[in-house]
Chains A and B, each alone.
Chain A
Amino acid sequence: MKNSIFFTLYIFMYLGLSVYIDYFILTDLVYYEFYSDKFSESRVYELLDFRKEWLWVTYPIKLLIQLIALQIPAMLIYLGLYLAKYEISYRKVFGVVLISEFIFFIPLLIKIIWFSFHPVSMESVRLFAPLSLFSLFDAESLQEWLFYPFKVLNVFEVVYWILMAFLLAKYLKSSLDAMLKIVLGYYVSFLFCWVVFVMFISLGNS
Protein backbone atom coordinates (compact mmCIF):
# COMPACT_ATOMS: atom_id res chain seq x y z
CA MET A 1 0.00 0.00 0.00
CA LYS A 2 1.13 3.51 -0.72
CA ASN A 3 2.16 5.96 1.99
CA SER A 4 -0.74 8.25 1.10
CA ILE A 5 -3.31 5.56 1.95
CA PHE A 6 -1.73 4.92 5.34
CA PHE A 7 -1.43 8.64 5.86
CA THR A 8 -5.12 9.26 5.16
CA LEU A 9 -6.11 6.28 7.31
CA TYR A 10 -3.88 7.55 10.12
CA ILE A 11 -5.44 11.02 10.02
CA PHE A 12 -8.96 9.59 10.04
CA MET A 13 -8.23 7.22 12.91
CA TYR A 14 -6.41 9.89 14.90
CA LEU A 15 -9.18 12.44 14.49
CA GLY A 16 -11.94 9.85 14.95
CA LEU A 17 -10.54 8.56 18.24
CA SER A 18 -9.78 12.09 19.51
CA VAL A 19 -13.32 13.23 18.72
CA TYR A 20 -14.79 10.12 20.37
CA ILE A 21 -12.74 10.63 23.54
CA ASP A 22 -13.62 14.34 23.71
CA TYR A 23 -17.35 13.90 23.13
CA PHE A 24 -18.17 10.53 24.68
CA ILE A 25 -15.55 9.95 27.40
CA LEU A 26 -14.54 13.43 28.58
CA THR A 27 -18.09 14.72 28.68
CA ASP A 28 -19.31 18.02 30.11
CA LEU A 29 -20.13 16.23 33.35
CA VAL A 30 -16.51 15.07 33.77
CA TYR A 31 -15.29 18.62 33.14
CA TYR A 32 -17.93 20.02 35.47
CA GLU A 33 -16.78 17.77 38.30
CA PHE A 34 -13.17 18.69 37.67
CA TYR A 35 -13.64 22.45 37.43
CA SER A 36 -16.27 22.84 40.14
CA ASP A 37 -13.49 22.36 42.70
CA LYS A 38 -11.69 25.43 41.36
CA PHE A 39 -14.35 27.70 39.93
CA SER A 40 -17.84 28.87 40.78
CA GLU A 41 -20.79 27.24 39.02
CA SER A 42 -21.38 30.16 36.65
CA ARG A 43 -17.69 30.21 35.70
CA VAL A 44 -17.70 26.45 35.07
CA TYR A 45 -20.68 26.84 32.72
CA GLU A 46 -18.84 29.62 30.91
CA LEU A 47 -15.82 27.34 30.52
CA LEU A 48 -17.99 24.51 29.24
CA ASP A 49 -19.66 26.82 26.71
CA PHE A 50 -16.24 27.99 25.60
CA ARG A 51 -15.11 24.38 25.21
CA LYS A 52 -18.22 23.51 23.21
CA GLU A 53 -17.67 26.46 20.90
CA TRP A 54 -13.92 26.09 20.34
CA LEU A 55 -13.14 22.39 20.76
CA TRP A 56 -13.09 21.88 16.99
CA VAL A 57 -10.15 24.31 16.72
CA THR A 58 -7.99 21.94 18.79
CA TYR A 59 -8.25 19.11 16.23
CA PRO A 60 -6.29 20.69 13.35
CA ILE A 61 -3.76 21.99 15.90
CA LYS A 62 -3.41 18.56 17.55
CA LEU A 63 -3.13 16.93 14.16
CA LEU A 64 -0.45 19.36 13.03
CA ILE A 65 1.55 18.75 16.22
CA GLN A 66 1.15 14.99 15.76
CA LEU A 67 2.36 15.17 12.18
CA ILE A 68 5.39 17.20 13.27
CA ALA A 69 6.00 14.69 16.07
CA LEU A 70 5.94 11.87 13.51
CA GLN A 71 8.88 13.48 11.72
CA ILE A 72 11.10 13.12 14.79
CA PRO A 73 11.49 9.30 14.76
CA ALA A 74 11.57 9.39 10.94
CA MET A 75 14.41 11.94 10.91
CA LEU A 76 16.38 10.12 13.62
CA ILE A 77 16.12 6.75 11.90
CA TYR A 78 16.93 8.32 8.55
CA LEU A 79 20.03 9.87 10.14
CA GLY A 80 21.02 6.49 11.58
CA LEU A 81 20.56 4.74 8.25
CA TYR A 82 22.43 7.50 6.40
CA LEU A 83 25.38 7.31 8.77
CA ALA A 84 25.38 3.51 8.51
CA LYS A 85 25.50 3.98 4.71
CA TYR A 86 22.15 2.38 3.86
CA GLU A 87 20.43 3.56 0.68
CA ILE A 88 16.86 4.54 1.51
CA SER A 89 14.72 7.59 0.85
CA TYR A 90 13.25 9.71 3.66
CA ARG A 91 9.80 9.03 2.22
CA LYS A 92 10.22 5.30 2.81
CA VAL A 93 11.50 5.82 6.35
CA PHE A 94 8.53 8.06 7.05
CA GLY A 95 6.24 5.34 5.66
CA VAL A 96 7.75 2.79 8.07
CA VAL A 97 7.31 5.15 11.02
CA LEU A 98 3.74 5.93 9.97
CA ILE A 99 2.76 2.26 9.74
CA SER A 100 4.42 1.52 13.09
CA GLU A 101 2.59 4.45 14.71
CA PHE A 102 -0.70 2.59 14.23
CA ILE A 103 0.31 0.51 17.25
CA PHE A 104 -0.42 3.52 19.48
CA PHE A 105 -4.09 3.42 18.52
CA ILE A 106 -4.41 0.23 20.57
CA PRO A 107 -3.96 1.94 24.00
CA LEU A 108 -6.42 4.61 22.84
CA LEU A 109 -8.96 1.92 21.95
CA ILE A 110 -8.33 0.21 25.30
CA LYS A 111 -8.92 3.55 27.01
CA ILE A 112 -12.21 4.02 25.18
CA ILE A 113 -13.40 0.49 26.00
CA TRP A 114 -12.27 0.75 29.63
CA PHE A 115 -13.97 4.07 30.28
CA SER A 116 -17.12 2.99 28.50
CA PHE A 117 -17.67 0.57 31.38
CA HIS A 118 -15.96 2.36 34.29
CA PRO A 119 -16.62 5.70 35.97
CA VAL A 120 -14.72 8.57 34.33
CA SER A 121 -12.95 11.42 36.06
CA MET A 122 -10.16 13.68 34.84
CA GLU A 123 -7.85 12.08 37.38
CA SER A 124 -8.68 8.50 36.35
CA VAL A 125 -8.12 9.37 32.68
CA ARG A 126 -4.82 11.05 33.55
CA LEU A 127 -3.65 8.02 35.50
CA PHE A 128 -4.75 5.48 32.90
CA ALA A 129 -1.77 3.92 31.14
CA PRO A 130 -2.52 0.33 30.10
CA LEU A 131 0.31 -2.21 29.95
CA SER A 132 2.87 0.31 31.16
CA LEU A 133 5.30 0.30 34.03
CA PHE A 134 3.07 2.98 35.55
CA SER A 135 0.14 0.55 35.71
CA LEU A 136 2.17 -1.76 37.96
CA PHE A 137 2.41 0.85 40.71
CA ASP A 138 -0.10 2.59 42.89
CA ALA A 139 -0.10 6.19 41.57
CA GLU A 140 -0.26 7.58 45.11
CA SER A 141 2.97 5.86 46.05
CA LEU A 142 4.80 7.39 43.06
CA GLN A 143 6.38 10.81 42.88
CA GLU A 144 4.79 13.06 40.23
CA TRP A 145 8.08 13.30 38.27
CA LEU A 146 8.09 9.53 37.76
CA PHE A 147 4.67 9.52 36.08
CA TYR A 148 5.92 10.40 32.61
CA PRO A 149 8.85 7.93 32.35
CA PHE A 150 6.76 5.13 33.84
CA LYS A 151 3.96 5.82 31.36
CA VAL A 152 6.34 5.99 28.38
CA LEU A 153 7.79 2.59 29.19
CA ASN A 154 4.96 0.37 27.98
CA VAL A 155 4.45 -2.74 25.88
CA PHE A 156 3.22 -0.73 22.87
CA GLU A 157 6.38 1.37 22.82
CA VAL A 158 8.56 -1.75 22.72
CA VAL A 159 6.40 -3.29 19.98
CA TYR A 160 6.75 0.01 18.07
CA TRP A 161 10.55 -0.24 18.14
CA ILE A 162 10.51 -3.87 17.01
CA LEU A 163 7.93 -3.20 14.29
CA MET A 164 9.98 -0.30 12.92
CA ALA A 165 13.11 -2.47 12.86
CA PHE A 166 11.20 -5.31 11.22
CA LEU A 167 9.73 -3.11 8.47
CA LEU A 168 13.09 -1.46 7.82
CA ALA A 169 14.76 -4.87 7.59
CA LYS A 170 12.09 -5.92 5.09
CA TYR A 171 12.53 -2.82 2.93
CA LEU A 172 16.31 -2.88 3.01
CA LYS A 173 16.59 -6.65 2.86
CA SER A 174 18.83 -6.44 5.88
CA SER A 175 18.89 -8.33 9.19
CA LEU A 176 16.50 -7.48 12.02
CA ASP A 177 19.50 -7.23 14.32
CA ALA A 178 21.15 -4.50 12.28
CA MET A 179 17.91 -2.50 12.07
CA LEU A 180 17.23 -2.91 15.78
CA LYS A 181 20.68 -1.43 16.41
CA ILE A 182 19.72 1.61 14.30
CA VAL A 183 16.34 2.01 16.04
CA LEU A 184 17.84 1.56 19.50
CA GLY A 185 20.88 3.69 18.78
CA TYR A 186 19.08 6.66 17.26
CA TYR A 187 15.40 6.65 18.17
CA VAL A 188 15.44 4.94 21.57
CA SER A 189 18.50 6.85 22.75
CA PHE A 190 16.73 10.08 21.78
CA LEU A 191 13.54 8.94 23.55
CA PHE A 192 15.58 8.15 26.65
CA CYS A 193 17.14 11.64 26.61
CA TRP A 194 13.71 13.21 26.02
CA VAL A 195 12.29 11.33 29.02
CA VAL A 196 15.23 12.46 31.17
CA PHE A 197 14.71 16.03 29.88
CA VAL A 198 11.02 15.94 30.92
CA MET A 199 11.96 14.35 34.24
CA PHE A 200 14.38 17.18 35.03
CA ILE A 201 11.70 19.75 34.26
CA SER A 202 9.10 17.90 36.37
CA LEU A 203 11.64 17.66 39.18
CA GLY A 204 12.14 21.41 38.97
CA ASN A 205 8.41 21.89 39.45
CA SER A 206 8.06 19.42 42.30
Chain B
Amino acid sequence: MRMKYLFPSLLVGFVAIGAWIGFSRYTTKQELQSTYSSIPSIMLTSTDGDSVNLKTEGDSAPSVLIYFNSSCPICQSEAELIQSKFRKDTLTRFLWVSSESVEEVKNFAAHYSLDSLDTHRFYSDTLFRLASAFRLTGVPATFVYDDEGNLVDYALGAVSMSDLTLSIQKAHDRSR
Protein backbone atom coordinates (compact mmCIF):
# COMPACT_ATOMS: atom_id res chain seq x y z
CA MET B 1 0.00 0.00 0.00
CA ARG B 2 2.86 2.34 0.89
CA MET B 3 4.58 1.70 -2.45
CA LYS B 4 1.38 2.69 -4.27
CA TYR B 5 1.60 6.23 -2.93
CA LEU B 6 5.38 6.56 -3.10
CA PHE B 7 5.60 7.26 -6.83
CA PRO B 8 2.84 9.94 -6.98
CA SER B 9 4.34 11.55 -3.85
CA LEU B 10 7.76 11.69 -5.52
CA LEU B 11 6.22 13.29 -8.61
CA VAL B 12 4.38 15.89 -6.55
CA GLY B 13 7.63 16.61 -4.68
CA PHE B 14 9.46 16.98 -7.97
CA VAL B 15 6.91 19.49 -9.28
CA ALA B 16 7.00 21.34 -5.96
CA ILE B 17 10.82 21.67 -6.26
CA GLY B 18 10.34 23.06 -9.79
CA ALA B 19 7.78 25.55 -8.52
CA TRP B 20 10.11 26.61 -5.71
CA ILE B 21 13.10 27.08 -8.08
CA GLY B 22 10.91 28.98 -10.55
CA PHE B 23 9.49 31.20 -7.82
CA SER B 24 12.96 31.94 -6.37
CA ARG B 25 14.28 32.84 -9.82
CA TYR B 26 11.26 35.04 -10.42
CA THR B 27 11.62 36.90 -7.11
CA THR B 28 15.39 37.32 -7.65
CA LYS B 29 14.70 38.76 -11.09
CA GLN B 30 12.05 41.11 -9.66
CA GLU B 31 14.48 42.25 -6.95
CA LEU B 32 17.20 42.90 -9.53
CA GLN B 33 14.76 44.80 -11.71
CA SER B 34 13.82 47.06 -8.81
CA THR B 35 17.54 47.56 -8.01
CA TYR B 36 18.22 48.57 -11.62
CA SER B 37 14.99 50.62 -11.88
CA SER B 38 16.81 53.96 -12.05
CA ILE B 39 20.31 55.27 -12.65
CA PRO B 40 22.02 55.32 -9.24
CA SER B 41 23.18 58.56 -7.72
CA ILE B 42 26.86 57.76 -7.31
CA MET B 43 30.02 59.82 -7.76
CA LEU B 44 32.42 58.73 -10.49
CA THR B 45 35.53 60.21 -12.10
CA SER B 46 35.23 61.42 -15.68
CA THR B 47 38.09 61.10 -18.18
CA ASP B 48 38.89 64.79 -17.47
CA GLY B 49 39.47 63.89 -13.84
CA ASP B 50 36.29 65.64 -12.63
CA SER B 51 33.99 64.12 -10.08
CA VAL B 52 30.51 63.64 -11.58
CA ASN B 53 27.17 62.25 -10.47
CA LEU B 54 26.09 59.38 -12.73
CA LYS B 55 22.39 60.16 -12.24
CA THR B 56 22.87 63.72 -13.46
CA GLU B 57 24.88 62.50 -16.45
CA GLY B 58 22.02 60.25 -17.53
CA ASP B 59 19.34 62.92 -17.18
CA SER B 60 17.30 64.43 -20.03
CA ALA B 61 18.12 61.89 -22.75
CA PRO B 62 17.63 58.17 -23.26
CA SER B 63 20.80 56.54 -21.99
CA VAL B 64 22.64 53.26 -22.24
CA LEU B 65 24.70 52.50 -19.16
CA ILE B 66 27.48 49.98 -19.79
CA TYR B 67 29.57 48.49 -17.01
CA PHE B 68 32.73 47.13 -18.60
CA ASN B 69 36.35 46.17 -18.18
CA SER B 70 38.92 46.92 -20.88
CA SER B 71 40.47 43.46 -20.68
CA CYS B 72 37.16 41.62 -21.05
CA PRO B 73 36.79 40.15 -24.58
CA ILE B 74 32.99 40.44 -24.58
CA CYS B 75 33.24 44.13 -23.56
CA GLN B 76 35.72 44.68 -26.39
CA SER B 77 33.28 43.07 -28.83
CA GLU B 78 30.44 45.17 -27.46
CA ALA B 79 32.47 48.38 -27.85
CA GLU B 80 33.36 47.48 -31.44
CA LEU B 81 29.75 46.70 -32.35
CA ILE B 82 28.33 49.76 -30.59
CA GLN B 83 30.91 51.93 -32.34
CA SER B 84 29.89 50.60 -35.75
CA LYS B 85 26.10 50.43 -35.17
CA PHE B 86 25.45 53.53 -33.09
CA ARG B 87 28.15 56.00 -34.09
CA LYS B 88 25.59 58.11 -35.99
CA ASP B 89 23.06 58.01 -33.14
CA THR B 90 23.20 61.52 -31.70
CA LEU B 91 20.05 61.19 -29.59
CA THR B 92 21.16 58.43 -27.22
CA ARG B 93 23.76 58.87 -24.51
CA PHE B 94 26.18 56.02 -23.86
CA LEU B 95 27.62 56.02 -20.33
CA TRP B 96 30.59 53.67 -20.05
CA VAL B 97 31.65 52.83 -16.49
CA SER B 98 34.67 50.75 -15.53
CA SER B 99 36.30 49.94 -12.20
CA GLU B 100 39.69 50.63 -13.78
CA SER B 101 41.84 53.76 -13.59
CA VAL B 102 41.09 56.88 -15.66
CA GLU B 103 44.11 56.12 -17.85
CA GLU B 104 42.88 52.60 -18.70
CA VAL B 105 39.38 53.88 -19.41
CA LYS B 106 40.80 56.60 -21.69
CA ASN B 107 42.88 54.04 -23.60
CA PHE B 108 39.83 51.83 -24.11
CA ALA B 109 37.75 54.74 -25.44
CA ALA B 110 40.55 55.77 -27.79
CA HIS B 111 41.15 52.22 -29.00
CA TYR B 112 37.55 51.93 -30.21
CA SER B 113 37.42 55.56 -31.44
CA LEU B 114 34.63 56.32 -29.02
CA ASP B 115 36.44 59.22 -27.37
CA SER B 116 35.73 61.49 -30.32
CA LEU B 117 31.97 60.90 -30.17
CA ASP B 118 30.02 63.44 -28.08
CA THR B 119 27.35 60.97 -27.06
CA HIS B 120 29.81 58.54 -25.47
CA ARG B 121 31.03 59.37 -21.99
CA PHE B 122 33.53 57.34 -20.02
CA TYR B 123 33.92 57.11 -16.25
CA SER B 124 36.30 55.48 -13.84
CA ASP B 125 34.82 53.86 -10.73
CA THR B 126 37.79 52.49 -8.82
CA LEU B 127 35.73 52.30 -5.63
CA PHE B 128 33.26 49.87 -7.26
CA ARG B 129 30.32 52.12 -6.45
CA LEU B 130 28.23 51.02 -9.45
CA ALA B 131 29.04 47.35 -8.89
CA SER B 132 27.91 47.54 -5.27
CA ALA B 133 24.83 49.68 -5.99
CA PHE B 134 23.70 47.22 -8.68
CA ARG B 135 25.18 44.10 -7.02
CA LEU B 136 27.09 43.33 -10.22
CA THR B 137 29.46 40.41 -10.20
CA GLY B 138 30.52 40.37 -13.85
CA VAL B 139 31.06 42.40 -16.99
CA PRO B 140 29.62 43.50 -19.31
CA ALA B 141 26.28 44.66 -17.95
CA THR B 142 24.12 46.90 -20.12
CA PHE B 143 21.15 48.97 -18.94
CA VAL B 144 18.85 51.09 -21.09
CA TYR B 145 17.02 54.05 -19.49
CA ASP B 146 14.51 56.55 -20.84
CA ASP B 147 15.03 60.32 -20.53
CA GLU B 148 13.61 60.31 -17.00
CA GLY B 149 16.11 57.69 -15.89
CA ASN B 150 13.60 54.82 -15.70
CA LEU B 151 14.78 51.36 -16.65
CA VAL B 152 13.61 50.13 -20.05
CA ASP B 153 15.67 46.97 -20.38
CA TYR B 154 18.88 45.34 -19.21
CA ALA B 155 21.25 42.55 -20.16
CA LEU B 156 23.90 40.86 -18.05
CA GLY B 157 26.61 39.42 -20.29
CA ALA B 158 26.81 39.70 -24.06
CA VAL B 159 24.03 41.80 -25.53
CA SER B 160 22.67 41.32 -29.02
CA MET B 161 22.73 44.47 -31.13
CA SER B 162 19.23 43.85 -32.45
CA ASP B 163 17.91 43.62 -28.87
CA LEU B 164 19.83 46.74 -27.90
CA THR B 165 18.47 48.63 -30.91
CA LEU B 166 14.93 47.61 -29.93
CA SER B 167 15.47 48.66 -26.31
CA ILE B 168 16.90 52.03 -27.37
CA GLN B 169 13.93 52.50 -29.68
CA LYS B 170 11.62 51.70 -26.78
CA ALA B 171 13.46 54.23 -24.59
CA HIS B 172 12.97 56.92 -27.24
CA ASP B 173 9.31 56.02 -27.65
CA ARG B 174 8.77 56.31 -23.89
CA SER B 175 10.62 59.62 -23.81
CA ARG B 176 8.32 61.25 -26.36
A residues at B contact (CB < 8 Å)? 37-40, 43, 79, 83, 186, 189-190, 193-194, 196-205
Contact = CB atoms under 8 A, between A and B. Distances in A.
Nearest to B28: A204
B86 interface: no
Main secondary structure of the interface of B (DSSP, over half): helix
A37 B161 contact: yes
Interface residues of B, number: 29
A39 B7 CA distance: 47
Contacts of B26: 203-204
Nearest to B159: A38
Interface of B: 3-4, 7-8, 11-12, 14-15, 17-19, 21-26, 29, 73-74, 76-77, 80-81, 158-162
Contacts, number: 65
A32 to B, nearest CB: 14
Contacts of A83: 3-4, 7
A197 B17 contact: yes
A144 B69 CA distance: 32
A186 B11 CA distance: 10
A142 B22 CA distance: 19
B160 A197 contact: no
B25 A198 contact: no
Contacts of A202: 22
B30 to A, nearest CB: 10
Contacts of B73: 43
Nearest to A197: B18
A186 B14 CA distance: 14
Contact of A200 (B19, B29, B80): B19
The 9 residue pairs across chains A and B that have the minimum distance between CB atoms? A204-B25, A197-B18, A200-B22, A204-B22, A40-B80, A200-B18, A40-B77, A39-B77, A204-B26
A176 B87 CA distance: 68
Which among B3, B15, B161 has the greatest number of chain A C-beta atoms within 10 A?
Answer: B15
Contacts of A193: 11-12, 14-15
Contacts of B29: 204-205
B160 A38 contact: yes
Nearest to B79: A40
A189 B11 contact: yes
A200 B26 CA distance: 10
Given A39-B74, A189-B8, 6 more contacts: A38-B160, A43-B76, A189-B11, A199-B22, A200-B15, A203-B26
Contacts of A40: 76-77, 80-81
A193 B17 CA distance: 11
Contacts of B24: 204
A142 B66 CA distance: 31
Contact of B25 (A38, A197, A199, A205): A205
